[in-house]
Amino acid sequence: LVRWDNSLGVTDPIYPVYIDSNVMCGRAGVLENGKWSNVTYMPCMETNDFVPQIPDHRVDMIYLCYPNNPTGTVITKEELKKWVNYALKNDTLILYDAAYEAYITEPHIPHSIYEIKGARKVAIEFHSYSKTAGFTGVRCGYTVIPKELTAVTIDGKERIALNTLWFRRQCTKFNGTSYISQRAAEAIYSPDGKEQTKAVIDYYMGNARLMYDALKKLGFRVYGGVNAPYLWVKTPDGVDSWKFFEQLLYGAQIVCTPGVGFGPSGEGFVRFTSFGEREDCEEAMQRLAKWMKS
């Protein structure tokens, strides 16, 4: 729906697919010193409490993911309002990934960008059943494109509704989610489905709390794990992400994800996930404690 030469902005670190998909269509520009020339990177680091700074220039498209993958951090309504206001002022399209909204536990954290006034004019929001209902291999999700959302033509003379364009694209390129997948997704909204889905999410968040507490007790600086299933952990003694990944792999037989794989600002961190069996999470923390003592 957008041109190959539209500029884009991303929080850094970021879920890699946002960058990769733009690289594949030629929109990202040239790779220089680990960054793409047509991408505005908005660092999310300890020094700014993982709150990205709004660009000081206009960007055509901005990707926001909250709760965030990989950092596990969230955004307040006050901060999200700043992004919506920026988009309204600059005619910017916000692509808002809310795949993990079901994991939010704190009542003041927004579950949708549409909780912000004016967002329906500037934002596309997408959701996935992968993490809420175990649909990872089924690949079922949905995209919200409000009918109020429009984009200007290249000559600047006309505004086009993106909802109808997206519908046309989907009908042309995609025959629709399989019937069995749709019925499975439908079942999630039944009383039993809601109860079972909540129980699974509570289970994973129980894993997150267990890991969060254990990591803090061992002296790590830990972020996330409260409103998201991911924990963003600072590597000790300035060790780089890949080095610490290897130390955990070979020293404690624990697998995590090197933070630098999510972008330049991810250096010096690793990501832990709470998606797993409780016994495995407990075992991992025991192995980590034993390895650190040795």
Percent of the chain with pLDDT over 90: 89
Q: How far is CA 248 from CA 79, 192, 253, in A?
A: 36, 40, 6
CATH fold of 8-128+141-176:
Aspartate Aminotransferase; domain 2 (3.40.640)
Q: Convert 80-144 into a string of H (helix), E (strand) and C (coil).
A: HHHHHHHHHHHCCEEEEECCCHHHCCCCCCCCCHHHCCCHHHCEEEEEECHHHHCCCCCCCEEEE
What is the rounded CA–CA span in Å between residue 193 and residue 133?
Answer: 9
Average pLDDT of the segment spanning 6-23: 94
For the entire predicted model, the pTM comes to 0.94
Residues in CB range of 129: below 8 A, 6 or more apart: 135, 138, 140, 141, 185, 188
Residue 22, classed as helix, strand or coil, is: helix
Peptide bond into 67 cis (omega under 30): yes
Confidence band, pLDDT 50/70/90 cuts, at residue 176: confident
What is the rounded CA–CA span in Å between residue 148 and residue 16?
Answer: 29
What is the Cα gyration radius of the chain?
20
User: What superfamily does domain 193-293 belong to in CATH?
Assistant: Aspartate Aminotransferase, domain 1 (3.90.1150.10)
236-290 pLDDT, tens digit each: 999 999 999 999 999 999 999 999 999 999 999 999 999 999 999 999 999 999 9
Q: Where along the chain do its domains lie?
A: 8-128+141-176, 193-293
Average per-residue pLDDT in the chain?
95
33, pLDDT greater than 90: no
177-230 pLDDT, tens digit each: 889 999 999 999 999 999 999 999 999 999 999 999 999 999 999 999 999 999
Q: What is the pLDDT of residue 7?
A: 94
61-77 pLDDT, tens digit each: 999 999 999 999 999 99
Q: Do domains 8-128+141-176 and 193-293 have the same CATH topology?
A: no
What is the rounded CA–CA span in Å between residue 8 and residue 60?
Answer: 6
